[in-house]
Amino acid sequence: MFRKIQENLEEVAGVVLLGIMAVFAFLNVITRYFIHYSFASTEEIEVACLVWLTMLGAAAGFRRGAHLGFNLLELRFPSLRNVLFPLASVLTILTVSILVWISILQIKDELALGITSEALGIPQWLYTLAIPVGGLLVILRVVEAWYGESKRKQV
């Protein structure tokens, strides 16, 4: 059961987030139609869900190997194939680690300054938390893909 959840974590969370976004968008359309005003809070929630959805989608893409690849070097120099995948994995982990570090610094600033969202007054760091959590999930999925690739080459 735990393995099934781990394998589909991003998809399950994505479906829940898309459902929340759809409900709030529908409610916003209805209120605009009937009272000619929108709820700013629904848009705030939708944007926050979109950030989480983006990070979860990136992690799911790495897990499935669905991201577009630049394979010109691999096609041009087949002998480098065993070097390029680990190099790409290391560079991806480095880039995402920098993103995670910067987002953690941003969360520290938001906590220190007590920044809240404009419409709902929710602490802003709760929204920003999507970036380091999603980034760590991306790193986990890249490591899993790297491990799977190295295991395939051994067989």
With a cut of 90, say whether residue 133 has pLDDT above it: yes
Per-residue model confidence as pLDDT tens digits over 49-77: 999 999 999 999 888 877 777 677 778 88
| Cβ contact 18:3 at 8 Å | no
User: What pLDDT is stored for residue 70 in this prediction?
Assistant: 66
Per-residue model confidence as pLDDT tens digits over 72-113: 777 888 888 788 888 889 999 999 999 999 999 999 999 999
d(CA 45, CA 16): 13
Tally the residues of the chain. 155
User: What pLDDT is stored for residue 62 in this prediction?
Assistant: 86
User: What pLDDT is stored for residue 57 in this prediction?
Assistant: 92
Complete DSSP assignment for 46-80: HHHHHHHHHHHHHHHHHHHT-S----HHHHH-GGG
| Cβ contact 14:57 at 8 Å | yes
Predicted model pTM: 0.83
Backbone φ and ψ of 3, nearest 5°: -65, -40
